[in-house]
Structure 1
Amino acid sequence: MSLLTDILFTPFAVLLLAIDILVTIVTGGWLGIIKKYSGSGEEKMRSLPVDGDQVHRVHYSNTSSNLNSVPAEGHETCYDLALHGFETYPDNPCMGEREYLGYYKGNKKIRHFNGNNVAWRTYKQVQQEAFQFGAALCAAGLHGAPSTTNLEEMTLPCRIAIFENSCPEWMIAAVGAFTQSITVCTVYATLGMNAVTQVVATNHISVILCNKRSVQALVDNCKENPTLKTIVYTNNMIGPDDHVELPNAPPGVTIISFDDFVASGDQEAYPPVPPKPETAAVCMYTSGSTGVPKGVILKHSAVVAAAASATTFLSGFEDPIRPGEEAHVGYLPLAHILEMMIEFFALYMGASIGYADHKTLSPTGAYPTGALQCFKPTLMCGVPKVWDTMKKIAEGRIQGRTILGQFLVKVAFAWRKFALSHGFDTPFLKMLIFSRFRANIGGRLRYAVSGGGALNPEVEEFCRIGFCVKFMQGYGLTETAAALSAQEPDDVRYGIAGGPVPGIEAKLESCPDFIDKAGQPYLTTDRLDVNGDPIWGRGEILARGTPLSSGYYMMPDVTAEAFEKDGWFHTGDIGQWTKDGSLKIVDRKKNLVKLKGGEYIALEKMEMVYGNSTFVDSVNGGICCYGDGDMDRPVALLQLREAAAMKWAKANGINKDFQTLLKSPEMNKAVLDDMANEFKKSGELSHLEKLVAVELLASPWTPENNCLTAASKLQRSFILRQFESVFNDLKPKGIFN
């Protein structure tokens, strides 16, 4: 944009800001400035050291008495949480789903739903189905699990397996199992039949819940799973024209629909037998990004403590959670601990849960509208890839505006960023400009949480400013029931994972064998980070507390390696305590790769930075960086975003189709140049982490082809094997001699 154009547009910007300032004054928004700058001048502490040990910290409200906190007195199990919701909000909408009609006009990228019509189950209806499901499990021969955690092989028929995508039936089955103290084994719907066979065999599963499309494969594997006696199937995401034939049931095996199984449950014959806090709630199998999936055992007390942390956390700030009024969109896999924990929190709070999947959140993957526009959530959790996708969809719409429109949006973003950092907001601009961004996510979102990995600061900034939500990063693992630390709503810094949540202790352990971009080891005695900012130590993050897992099922050696006898769990992540006691994740031990010269590079951090490029298609998998001990510098495979590539071609007078552009040296150079810009802009990477070559792809990485885990994380080894010939040509470009 020329200087003259900027000058011509300046009066529009001045007028907008003047109106916004006037509205801020009239509505009392200026009080936020006074509140921000009238304090004692002392920085708010986000955590407290334990016994003066600066690298061992807890939540600032923690005392030894509330380390075992629960959402409310007497609620100590997942069954208790659900029952509280059932009895407190019986007529509230509980679980909703849209009627699926198949692919829209044959386009397998867009799913067709029956308008915005949602079939809702009330809390009372969900309770009835769950209790009947539990009774039906007992009639099928299952027993309650022992009230002590056992990591050895469990031969007692006290576990069911759920092998299905997120849907109402998933949660109803889980709650139903808990009504009878039965443990749930979760299996990502994308893990494949080998993983299912392993889970069924080692857990002696007799009942499994799955999608109707999976029944045939389960029947084909019955010989390898002699304990499997009942297959309960759902019709989730099966359209009226989809013909899915059920196979004949093998001798001794029953195939039954979810509705019929529920209808068979006799509550009088099998009244509820609630679990104890020490009973295993789930054996949650990881998505397998680092090898064979591990079964993480989580007691009821662990999941409840994590939900308690969320309750305490979201209730202690301005505009707190409103019991009975919130709406959550459930689209992450329920086999992912973050989604399962949040949904039990939602049930406890009487929130409505609208079910979808990540492909149908926006209108780009659903017709006539996306799930966000349909369910209008007030609460939403997402992994970094989802937020990156939301940002790029919104940016694409900005680019479709007039030059004046784009300029005004730019002004609005800059002004709101300034306003938030100084304690006030922009009411007029929120109404005039940002309301359109909010409409993309339903228009009602108040709290948004990003977890499951590091989030690019630019993505976080865009979401917080553009979507006008309290946007926070959380940090946790399956082994901590998703709860370890969380950023507070009033903390608008970027790249911060916050202080430990209530119920968790966290400390750092020195990593002398791992070094930062300046070549220095991560030590708990460090008082300055790599950028020269004051800190309270660096090192591997260890956690201890009620939300922690008991260990890995039938893996004593792996359990002993990760869990110390005094309760500390080794996360494998490297972090540092900031000056105010917040946790910042700076590296991950398993993703620190040593180059030929002996220097380390951080692949995940690189992918976070370079993934912000407009050329990277996050919807189709994003970017995969690579380096090893034979290489001088890293390279990357990336999914090229068609819209950005075609826009670049048009701007540069290149008349080529997308497939031709993929192989174009000019396109490759343009992408590599943009990677260099992202490298320079971020300031987060060392000179060794600057990409020297890229290869452009347009073959999506998905959980179905094993290139992504079910939680949307890269499976690097699968990607390199699948694109072996391309990678073999790319790798030598990172070797200089």
Structure 2
Amino acid sequence: GREYLAKHPEAVKERIAAITADQLATLIYTSGTTGRPKGVRLPHDNWSYMAKATVATGLITKDDVQYLWLPLAHVFGKVLTSGQIEVGHVTAVDGRIDKIIENLPIVQPTYMAAVPRIFEKVYNGVAAKARAAGGAKYKIFQWSVGVAREYAKVTQDNFRRTGNATAPLGLSTKHKIADALVYSKLREAFGGNLRAAVSGASALAPDIGYFFSGAGIHILEGYGLTESSAASFVNPGEAYRTGTVGKPLPGTEVRIADDGEVLLRGPGIMQGYHGQPEKTAEVLEADGWLHTGDIGELSADGYLRITDRKKDLIKTSGGKYVAPAEIEGRFKALCPYVSSIVVHGADRNFCSALIALDEPSILVWAAENGLEGKTYSQVLAAPETNRLIETYVQTLNEGLQRWQTVKKFRLLPRDLDVEHGDLTPSLKLKRPVVEREFKHLIEEMYEGSREA
């Protein structure tokens, strides 16, 4: 390279000058959560737009420090890189997921992006530690969780109505006490300087979002697809609303189709699928509108709420529609021992669930409940463990419509992970893969049941 540049000193400038806006920059394959991955053609103009639009939201500045663990070949990691190139802030990169908690106090980021699974694991880890401490400490933690959620809901609602994130004196007083006892320690675990965390790739359970919000860790949920260069929506700073994915990036249009599907149009939309014009025509209209495959609702002031994947909606044999992600999110907020849950019920006469437990958390519980010294597999097989999870399933069902309730569940022999192909590199669930692998457990739950 050095030899070539010595002979052609203008080579780099010439190559850059030859780049056109519509020239292919990246070919990124979809996650394959619902079928065979497709190559998404994203030209240079997409990434230029993403860089400018991300900065225009006010989300990042040149003074920020970003912690980046997402795969750089993934569209989410790519859009974070484009924003960094635009403003030139410091970014610490480490793709090892198991090092995130260890690295945060060292890097001390001002912002980071993650996926719901990371926040769920942090929440469950904190809950498990509090439970292990027992007695008064666990009661204080449970109380602080309730205070955080109430405080977040009240302050967000007041900000929406008045522009001020205020809370009544009594609630503010309780919040200050809980902050000193619990929340401040949680913020230190994130490095102590975290201004905001962006969550994407899948839906974050609102109860978990409200907890972190009330604890002073502001999770700005966003939304996008590989086909839209990752970022199409993001929550706007102070005005963020837990349970929504925020407002469209400047320059991006949105509308809701008659069947509830979210449609997008703008400079971030792909050219099409590589070598698959028929697949492109299925999702990309001639006038530029992209069919996302997601079901959503728009508020009067432009905040989008994604309710489910169009393909993931379950229709029971009784004709009722069920959104599995909503049920899964509720359960993750209820049960401190769950790592993954997959709700099943398409063409069945009731809903069931496959549940994977977080190994460190459940082993701590086991040691305190007469199962000390048992292996993870032995703990999973113990009747006491099944009874424990059953109490959380019953609590879940109390808040659901009759046709949504989980009538049966099975504990999985291992957690879901990237290595076994259950999750994508950005930790999104591959439902068909999981349902195929554990088909025997699903069939076991429906043995003898009358199919309508």
TM-score (norm 1): 0.54
Identify if the C-alpha distance between structure 1 residues 469 and 670 changes in structure 2 by more than 3 Å, giving closer, same or farther: closer
**Partner Cα distance (1:669, 1:733) in 2:** 22
Larger-Rg structure: 1
1:277 maps to 2:21 = yes
Q: Which residue of 1 aligns with 2:342?
A: 624
**Partner Cα distance (1:711, 1:443) in 2:** 25
1:338 maps to 2:76 = yes
Out of 31, 34, 38, which is 1:294 matched to? 38
One-letter amino acid of the structure 2 residue matched with residue 437 of structure 1: L
Query: Residue 312 of structure 1: CA displacement?
Result: 1.2
Identify if the C-alpha distance between structure 1 residues 576 and 699 changes in structure 2 by more than 3 Å, giving closer, same or farther: same
Identify if the C-alpha distance between structure 1 residues 652 and 430 changes in structure 2 by more than 3 Å, giving closer, same or farther: closer
**Partner Cα distance (1:608, 1:359) in 2:** 21
Q: Which residue of 2 aligns with 1:553?
A: 274
One-letter amino acid of the structure 1 residue matched with residue 245 of structure 2: A
Query: Residue 417 of structure 1: CA displacement?
Result: 4.9
Identify if the C-alpha distance between structure 1 residues 632 and 340 changes in structure 2 by more than 3 Å, giving closer, same or farther: same
Q: Which residue of 2 aligns with 1:309?
A: 53
Out of 218, 223, 226, which is 1:478 matched to? 226
Query: Residue 733 of structure 1: CA displacement?
Result: 6.8
Q: Which residue of 2 aligns with 1:668?
A: 386
Identify if the C-alpha distance between structure 1 residues 304 and 431 changes in structure 2 by more than 3 Å, giving closer, same or farther: farther
Q: Which residue of 2 aligns with 1:348?
A: 86
SS in 1 for 2:255: strand
One-letter amino acid of the structure 1 residue matched with residue 36 of structure 2: V
On the 8 A contact 1:692/1:734 being kept in 2, the answer is no
1:457-536 → structure 2 map (5 Å cutoff): 457-466=206-215, 468-491=216-239, 493-511=241-259
Query: Residue 723 of structure 1: CA displacement?
Result: 2.8
Q: Which residue of 2 aligns with 1:357?
A: 95
Identify if the C-alpha distance between structure 1 residues 433 and 387 changes in structure 2 by more than 3 Å, giving closer, same or farther: closer
Query: Residue 486 of structure 1: CA displacement?
Result: 1.7
The answer for unaligned runs of 5 or more in structure 1 is 1-135, 137-262, 316-320, 364-369, 512-538
Q: Which residue of 2 aligns with 1:394?
A: 126
Identify if the C-alpha distance between structure 1 residues 414 and 670 changes in structure 2 by more than 3 Å, giving closer, same or farther: closer
Query: Residue 673 of structure 1: CA displacement?
Result: 2.6
Query: Residue 345 of structure 1: CA displacement?
Result: 0.5
SS in 1 for 2:239: coil
Q: Which residue of 2 aligns with 1:690?
A: 405
Q: Which residue of 2 aligns with 1:596?
A: 317
Query: Residue 470 of structure 1: CA displacement?
Result: 2.8
1:609 maps to 2:330 = yes
Identify if the C-alpha distance between structure 1 residues 268 and 583 changes in structure 2 by more than 3 Å, giving closer, same or farther: farther
- Could you tell which deviates more after superposition, 385-394 or 500-509? 385-394
On the 8 A contact 2:356/2:413 being kept in 1, the answer is yes
Measured against aligned partners, the alpha-carbon deviations of 1:317-374 in whole angstroms (never above 9, x if no partner) come to xxxx441x211111111222121111121122222221223523345xxxxxx12122
Query: Residue 473 of structure 1: CA displacement?
Result: 0.8
1:363-402 → structure 2 map (5 Å cutoff): 370-401=102-133
On the 8 A contact 1:596/1:632 being kept in 2, the answer is yes
Identify if the C-alpha distance between structure 1 residues 654 and 492 changes in structure 2 by more than 3 Å, giving closer, same or farther: same
One-letter amino acid of the structure 2 residue matched with residue 612 of structure 1: A
One-letter amino acid of the structure 1 residue matched with residue 327 of structure 2: M
Query: Residue 296 of structure 1: CA displacement?
Result: 0.6
Identity of matched residues, %: 28
On the 8 A contact 1:635/1:734 being kept in 2, the answer is no
Identify if the C-alpha distance between structure 1 residues 652 and 413 changes in structure 2 by more than 3 Å, giving closer, same or farther: closer
Query: Residue 455 of structure 1: CA displacement?
Result: 0.8
One-letter amino acid of the structure 1 residue matched with residue 401 of structure 2: S
**Partner Cα distance (1:446, 1:265) in 2:** 45
On the 8 A contact 2:53/2:249 being kept in 1, the answer is yes
**Partner Cα distance (1:413, 1:730) in 2:** 34
1:677 maps to 2:395 = yes
Query: Residue 695 of structure 1: CA displacement?
Result: 1.0
1:157-172 → structure 2 map (5 Å cutoff): none
**Partner Cα distance (1:488, 1:734) in 2:** 48
Measured against aligned partners, the alpha-carbon deviations of 1:280-313 in whole angstroms (never above 9, x if no partner) come to 1111111222222111111111122222222111
On the 8 A contact 2:34/2:431 being kept in 1, the answer is no
On the 8 A contact 1:616/1:638 being kept in 2, the answer is no
Identify if the C-alpha distance between structure 1 residues 352 and 679 changes in structure 2 by more than 3 Å, giving closer, same or farther: farther
Measured against aligned partners, the alpha-carbon deviations of 1:707-731 in whole angstroms (never above 9, x if no partner) come to 1122212222222333343333233
**Partner Cα distance (1:397, 1:304) in 2:** 44
Out of 434, 437, 440, which is 2:186 matched to? 437
1:569-584 → structure 2 map (5 Å cutoff): 569-584=290-305
- Could you tell which deviates more after superposition, 482-491 or 395-404? 395-404
Give the alignment's Cα RMSD to 1 decimal.
Answer: 2.7
Measured against aligned partners, the alpha-carbon deviations of 1:355-407 in whole angstroms (never above 9, x if no partner) come to 223523345xxxxxx12122221111111111111211222233344634444
On the 8 A contact 2:255/2:263 being kept in 1, the answer is yes
Measured against aligned partners, the alpha-carbon deviations of 1:629-659 in whole angstroms (never above 9, x if no partner) come to 2x21111111123444445556655668243
**Larger fraction in helix:** 2
SS in 2 for 1:361: helix
SS in 2 for 1:469: coil
Identify if the C-alpha distance between structure 1 residues 401 and 652 changes in structure 2 by more than 3 Å, giving closer, same or farther: closer
1:640-679 → structure 2 map (5 Å cutoff): 640-646=357-363, 648-649=365-366, 657=374, 658-679=376-397
**Partner Cα distance (2:370, 2:246) in 1:** 47
Query: Residue 416 of structure 1: CA displacement?
Result: 5.1
Q: Which residue of 2 aligns with 1:193?
A: none
How many residue pairs match? The answer is 429
On the 8 A contact 1:633/1:734 being kept in 2, the answer is no
Identify if the C-alpha distance between structure 1 residues 690 and 418 changes in structure 2 by more than 3 Å, giving closer, same or farther: closer
The answer for unaligned runs of 5 or more in structure 2 is 156-164, 167-171
**Partner Cα distance (2:82, 2:388) in 1:** 47
Query: Residue 540 of structure 1: CA displacement?
Result: 0.8
One-letter amino acid of the structure 2 residue matched with residue 636 of structure 1: A
TM-score (norm 2): 0.86
